[in-house]
Amino acid sequence: EMAEKGGYEHFMLKEIHEQPEALRRFLVGRLNDESVHLEELNLNPEEIKSYSRIFIVACGTAYHSGLVGKYVIEKLVRIPVEVDIASEFRYRQPLIDESTLVIVVSQSGETADTLAALREAQGRGAKVVAITNVVGSTIAREADEVMYLRVGPEIAVASTKAYTAMVMAFYLFALYLGQIRGTLDTEEIQKAIAALKQIPEQVKWIIENTESEIQKLAEQFTKHENAFFIGRSVDYTVSMEGSLKLKEISYIHAEAYAAGELKHGTLALITNGVPVIALVTQESVYEKMLSNVQEVRAREAWVIAVALEGDEEIKKSAENVLYIPQTMELFTSVLAIIPLQLLAYYVARLRGCDVDQPRNLAKSVTVE
Ligand code: G6P
Per-residue confidence (pLDDT) for residue 336, from 0 to 100: 98
How remote is the CA of residue 240 from the centroid of ligand 1, in Å? 15
How remote is the CA of residue 367 from the centroid of ligand 1, in Å? 12
Closest CA to 105 of 96, 113, 114: 114
Q: Is 159 in the pocket of ligand 1 (CB under 6 A)?
A: yes
Q: Which atom of ligand 1 is nearest to the CA of 158?
A: 9
Q: Which atom of ligand 1 is nearest to the CA of 159?
A: 9
Amino acid at 349: R
Q: 179 burial class (0-12, 13-18, 19+ CB within 10 angstroms)?
A: buried
Q: Which atom of ligand 1 is nearest to the CA of 58?
A: 15
Phi, psi of 278 (to 5 degrees): -110, 125
- Residues sharing a CB contact under 8 Å with residue 302, sequence separation 6 or more, in sequence order: 220, 273, 274, 275, 276, 319
Q: Is 111 in the pocket of ligand 1 (CB under 6 A)?
A: yes
Q: Is 160 in the pocket of ligand 1 (CB under 6 A)?
A: no
Closest CA to 314 of 301, 297, 331, 327: 297
Per-residue confidence (pLDDT) for residue 44, from 0 to 100: 94
Interface confidence (ipTM) of the complex: 0.97
Per-residue confidence (pLDDT) for residue 268, from 0 to 100: 86
How remote is the CA of residue 352 from the centroid of ligand 1, in Å? 23
Per-residue confidence (pLDDT) for residue 265, from 0 to 100: 83
Residue nearest to atom 11 of ligand 1 (CA): 364
Rounded distance, CA 327 to CA 198, Å? Answer: 9
How remote is the CA of residue 137 from the centroid of ligand 1, in Å? 14
Residue nearest to atom 5 of ligand 1 (CA): 60
- pLDDT, one tens digit per residue, over 47-101 is 999 999 999 999 999 999 999 999 999 999 999 999 999 999 989 999 998 899 9
Phi, psi of 84 (to 5 degrees): -135, 145
Q: Is 140 in the pocket of ligand 1 (CB under 6 A)?
A: no
Per-residue confidence (pLDDT) for residue 368, from 0 to 100: 84
The low-confidence residues of the chain, meaning pLDDT below 50, are none
Per-residue confidence (pLDDT) for residue 197, from 0 to 100: 98
Per-residue confidence (pLDDT) for residue 8, from 0 to 100: 95
Q: Is 108 in the pocket of ligand 1 (CB under 6 A)?
A: yes
How remote is the CA of residue 162 from the centroid of ligand 1, in Å? 10
Q: Is 262 in the pocket of ligand 1 (CB under 6 A)?
A: no
Name the residues annotated as catalytic: 363
End-to-end CA distance of the chain: 31
- pLDDT, one tens digit per residue, over 166-220 is 999 999 999 999 999 999 999 999 999 999 999 999 999 999 999 999 999 999 9
The sign one gets for the Cα dihedral 38, 334, 101, 71 is negative
Q: Is 59 in the pocket of ligand 1 (CB under 6 A)?
A: yes
